[in-house]
């Protein structure tokens, strides 16, 4: 018997079914990653608030209260300014923001691993899903919490979480989706070397700021203990104050980098920089015990720290290209990366704190960025220019002479022989 043929079925029906199943699986995984990052971030904030409420001596723990309070706190963790009773709170802790970014990065990395995403187009699917979900969640939360006591700009509630989670998701899929290889294939070695050197400079500057902050805190340890005792007596209050200080620790590190760069920072009427100091009252936060009470004449010597980092950047770029101008271009890329990173960090670390004596807190982002460019770029360019290799002068091409033909070569030899003979004729005579 001859086999029956199904004329209605095309040869690609099975492939189409596979494509449909694959598309549904992709949508399901990306949706789970996007919603999961949103819910996990909110749950982490709610758990932290529950811990603080549980240990606070005068607070009453309420599940509904914690759930409601976690909504504006989630916005604050994404650097969304919040207006409380008509007073804007724009200086928000950076440590919860780093936690939100870590959650978004892990969600994007997990989705990329499950779906085996590769290339910038497929990586963009995971990045967009997580960023849009958090942005829409920010709008929903802003509309839910806005009222007589709390006010949030819905537009800010959308683009702050969107930008932060998009950056975090990009970091999460950067290696796994091959974005690094894609970037390297479309960028020359000089620019790549400059980006790497700029990343090293950013890390070294943050490390230097952390060292300066740690030394200042150790030198003022007794003052910090007194602030804990006076402003947060008891275990519960002390734990809450410790968590608050830890939340603002990255802000303080960025402020220390601003001090090393030169422009410094201001807190209301208080100004702290190596070249300008104005004392005054500060909030009773134990972390602020690191602030000096009076200026010191040796503070300008701290400018040697960013200069030394600039020299290290130049040494890293001394072999990136044989031409000195190309190495200077790499230095420009590194300095540009430092400028962009720290103008964002300084702008995020400061902000409004109501209308009191400590408002506003400014890390002078533009001045800090320009100062760091000067401290890094000038010594790096000099070091890269002088310490790197230089191209050798062009040597005569022997192959070209041989390609001229045997007749030309023979004429040159004969001319040389005649010249030699002419020099020897007087001696023969």
For the residues 279-302, what does the mean pLDDT come to?
91
| Per-residue pLDDT tens digits for 374-411 | 999 999 999 999 986 666 555 555 455 545 555 544 55
pLDDT band at residue 282 under the 50/70/90 scheme: confident
List the chain domain ranges: 21-185, 187-391
Give the DSSP letter of residue 301: G
Q: How far apart are the first and last CA of the chain?
A: 116
For the residues 355-367, what does the mean pLDDT come to?
88
Q: Write down the mean pLDDT value for the chain.
A: 86
Structure tokens at 184: 């390297």
Q: What angle do CA 57, 63, 66 make, to 5 degrees?
A: 70
Using DSSP's 3-state secondary structure scheme, residue 85 falls into coil
| Per-residue pLDDT tens digits for 127-166 | 999 999 999 999 999 999 998 889 999 999 999 999 999 9
| Per-residue pLDDT tens digits for 208-232 | 999 999 999 999 999 999 888 888 8
| Per-residue pLDDT tens digits for 76-111 | 999 999 998 888 898 999 999 999 999 999 999 999
Selection from 122, 40, 34, 45 nearest residue 80 by Cα: 45
pLDDT band at residue 2 under the 50/70/90 scheme: very low
d(CA 356, CA 24): 54
Q: What is the pTM of this model?
A: 0.84
Q: What angle do CA 390, 195, 346 make, to 5 degrees?
A: 130
pLDDT band at residue 13 under the 50/70/90 scheme: very low
CA separation, residue 56 to residues 112, 283, 313 (Å):
41, 20, 48
Q: What angle do CA 365, 344, 313 make, to 5 degrees?
A: 85
pLDDT the model gives residue 202? 98
pLDDT the model gives residue 235? 82
pLDDT the model gives residue 153? 95
416 has a pLDDT exceeding 80: no
pLDDT the model gives residue 7? 39
d(CA 43, CA 415): 92
pLDDT the model gives residue 53? 83
Selection from 165, 168, 167 nearest residue 157 by Cα: 165
Phi, psi torsion values for 254, nearest 5 degrees: -65, -40
Percent of the chain whose pLDDT exceeds 70: 84
Contact 248, 94 (CB under 8 A): yes
306 has a pLDDT exceeding 90: yes
Strand order in the sheet with 361-362: 277-278, 270-272, 265-267, 361-362
Using DSSP's 3-state secondary structure scheme, residue 266 falls into strand
pLDDT the model gives residue 19? 44
For the residues 316-344, what does the mean pLDDT come to?
95
Tokens 């691993």 found at: 113
pLDDT band at residue 181 under the 50/70/90 scheme: confident
Phi, psi torsion values for 267, nearest 5 degrees: -135, 90
d(CA 323, CA 321): 6
d(CA 297, CA 275): 9
Selection from 190, 210, 202, 193 nearest residue 338 by Cα: 202
Structure tokens at 196: 């790497």
256 has a pLDDT exceeding 90: yes
Lowest mean pLDDT among 150-154, 205-209, 236-240: 236-240
Structure tokens at 101: 């970014």
d(CA 75, CA 136): 12
To the nearest 10°, report the CA torsion of 273, 276, 280, 286: 10
Element (H, E) at 172: helix 154-173
Percent of the chain whose pLDDT exceeds 90: 63
């Amino acid at each position: 018997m001859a086999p029956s043929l199904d004329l209605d079925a095309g040869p690609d029906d099975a492939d189409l079914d596979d494509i449909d199943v694959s598309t549904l699986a992709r949508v399901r995984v990306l949706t789970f990653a996007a919603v999961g990052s949103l819910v996990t971030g909110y749950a982490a904030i709610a758990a932290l608030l529950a811990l603080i409420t549980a240990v606070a001596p005068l607070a009453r723990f309420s599940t509904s209260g914690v759930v409601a309070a976690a909504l504006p706190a989630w916005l604050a963790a994404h650097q969304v300014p919040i207006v409380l009773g008509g007073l804007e709170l724009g200086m928000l802790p950076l440590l919860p923001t780093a936690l939100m970014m870590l959650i978004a990065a892990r969600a994007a990395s997990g989705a990329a691993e499950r779906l085996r995403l590769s290339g910038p187009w497929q990586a963009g699917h995971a990045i967009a899903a997580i960023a849009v979900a958090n942005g829409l969640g920010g709008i929903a939360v802003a509309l839910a919490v806005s009222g007589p006591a709390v006010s949030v700009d819905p537009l800010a509630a959308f683009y702050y979480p969107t930008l932060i989670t998009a950056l975090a998701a990009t970091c999460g899929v950067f290696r796994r989706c091959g974005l690094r290889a894609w970037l390297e294939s479309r960028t020359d070695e000089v620019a790549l070397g400059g980006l790497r050197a700029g990343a090293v400079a950013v890390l070294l500057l943050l490390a230097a700021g952390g060292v300066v902050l740690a030394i200042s805190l150790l030198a003022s340890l007794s003052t910090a203990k007194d602030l804990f005792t006076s402003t947060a007596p008891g275990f519960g209050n002390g734990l809450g104050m410790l968590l608050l200080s830890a939340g603002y620790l990255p802000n303080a590190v960025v402020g220390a980098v601003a001090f090393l760069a030169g422009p410094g920072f201001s807190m209301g009427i208080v100004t702290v920089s190596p070249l300008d100091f104005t004392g005054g009252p500060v909030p009773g936060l134990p972390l602020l015990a690191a602030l000096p009470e009076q200026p010191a004449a040796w503070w300008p010597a701290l400018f040697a720290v960013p200069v030394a980092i600039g020299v290290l950047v130049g040494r890293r770029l001394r072999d990136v290209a044989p031409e000195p101008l190309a190495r200077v271009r790499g230095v420009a890329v590194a300095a540009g990366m430092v400028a962009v990173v720290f103008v964002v960090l300084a702008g995020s670390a400061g902000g409004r704190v109501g209308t009191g004596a400590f408002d506003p807190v400014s890390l002078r982002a533009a001045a800090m960025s320009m100062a760091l460019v000067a401290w890094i770029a000038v010594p790096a360019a000099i070091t890269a220019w002088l310490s790197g290799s230089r191209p050798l002068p062009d040597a005569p091409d022997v192959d070209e002479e041989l390609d001229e033909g045997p007749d030309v070569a023979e004429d040159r030899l004969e001319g040389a022989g005649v010249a030699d003979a002419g020099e020897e004729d007087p001696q023969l005579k």
